[in-house]
Structure 1
Amino acid sequence: MRSFSFVCEILITAVLLFLIPVLFFSYQQELLLQGYARYEVTYFTDSIRNTGYISAKRYEEFKKKLAATNHVYEIDLTVYEMYRNSGEKESFCLGTYTDTILDTLYKQGKWYTLHQGDFISVSIMRKDTGFIERMIRMFGIADVGMAGVPIRYGGMVRDECF
């Protein structure tokens, strides 16, 4: 019976000295990476809003900065252009989405130009799981749910450069 209690003490000690600090610091690291990704989305979106265009170079830099987090992200770009009928009191909104924008950037080799008053929205969603999610799932603890949380940011284009 003494040997059983000794083994239990070793297991509890290993959990308290190793596993709990690893889980705590992994969770803190995931929070920092999520904050970094949020900052990069905000910076990328604001640079588009201020300049009025999306270039392939700027988009590649954005993807490279997100890749520095060692996570896989799905990036969604949406541009809404407002059109007003001058003769009547009606307006409509035309949406342009990621596929069309990337087609303009890469296949046509041009900038995607926005106009003052257009609305740009950038959204990213993490597609993989981090260390903390895998550890929590392995031990059956409650899920922290960081993998599927989208980060969205957007606003009206000011077009201050042109």
Structure 2
Amino acid sequence: MVKYLSIPFASVIAVLLLFFFPLQSTYEQQDQMAYNLSYNAVTNFVDSVRNKGYISPMMYSDFTRELGATNNLFDIQMEHKAKRYNPIYKDPTDEATFTGAAEVYYDAVYQQTILYTLFPDNGVSDFDPSRKYYLKEGDFFTVTVRNTNTTKAKLLSDFLTNGNSVDPTRIDIPYGGIVNNENY
């Protein structure tokens, strides 16, 4: 009786060892390659924006095309924190009471506004300066990229562990920094 039960059990173990685990390893490597490509695309885009001081439609299109090469779907979130100064007065109604100091604060501009500047509905050429989104030196610019699709590695992992992942995110890249230059 034990002999008859050991053959199916050994067959199941052999299938797992010879098929599923190498397949899982291959899919994990694909996810790692997709992460590396995405990370390079994000860092190149953000560093380019920080060094130039603007975003053009061509820069954003190239960025999304590089992300698309990973065969994943992404949620891209851009944020621009514009540096502003608020002068400090002893009496706000009298300009003569200026203390010589100022508060620094940041106004946040998000994805929707940036994309509307890059891709307006007015049919203007891609090379028109009005389609560039400008930043100033000292501003902060950040991009966060997350995959929204379930990768093959995640599907196989859920199958093998009998899990049900609610969050398919395998690639999550936040990157940003201070704008270094205004190279208009």
Normalised TM-score (structure 2): 0.79
1:136, 1:26 → 2: CA distance? Answer: 10
Give the AA of the match of 1:35: N
- Structure 1 residues without counterparts, runs of 5 or longer: none
2:21, 2:86 → 1: CA distance? Answer: 62
Deviation at 1:35, TM superposition (A): 1.9
Cα deviations by residue, 1:54-96 (Å, 9 ceiling, x for unpaired): 0111101111111111111000111011111355421221111
8 Å CA contact retained: 1:133, 1:143: no
Cα deviations by residue, 1:22-68 (Å, 9 ceiling, x for unpaired): 11121122122112211111110000001111011110111111111
Q: Sequence identity, in percent?
A: 30
Taking the TM superposition and a 5 Å limit, the aligned residue runs for 1:44-123 are 44-86=45-87, 87=98, 88-107=101-120, 109=124, 110-123=131-144
8 Å CA contact retained: 1:77, 1:123: yes
8 Å CA contact retained: 2:35, 2:171: no
- Could you tell which deviates more after superposition, 42-51 or 147-156? 147-156
Give the AA of the match of 1:158: N
Match of 1:154 in 2: 176
2:160, 2:174 → 1: CA distance? Answer: 31
Give the AA of the match of 2:54: Y
1:131, 1:48 → 2: CA distance? Answer: 33
Give the AA of the match of 2:111: T
1:51, 1:89 → 2: CA distance? Answer: 27
User: Structure 1 residues 29, 148: closer, same or farther in 2, change over 3 A?
Assistant: closer
Deviation at 1:161, TM superposition (A): 2.9
Deviation at 1:104, TM superposition (A): 0.3
- Structure 2 residues without counterparts, runs of 5 or longer: 88-97, 125-130
1:21 equivalenced with 2:22 (yes/no): yes
Deviation at 1:127, TM superposition (A): 0.8
Match of 1:125 in 2: 146
8 Å CA contact retained: 1:118, 1:156: yes
- Could you tell which deviates more after superposition, 4-13 or 90-99? 4-13
RMSD: 2.2
Give the AA of the match of 2:20: L
8 Å CA contact retained: 1:136, 1:143: no
Q: Which has the larger radius of gyration?
A: 2
Normalised TM-score (structure 1): 0.89
Deviation at 1:150, TM superposition (A): 2.5
Cα deviations by residue, 1:141-160 (Å, 9 ceiling, x for unpaired): 67897716531111111126
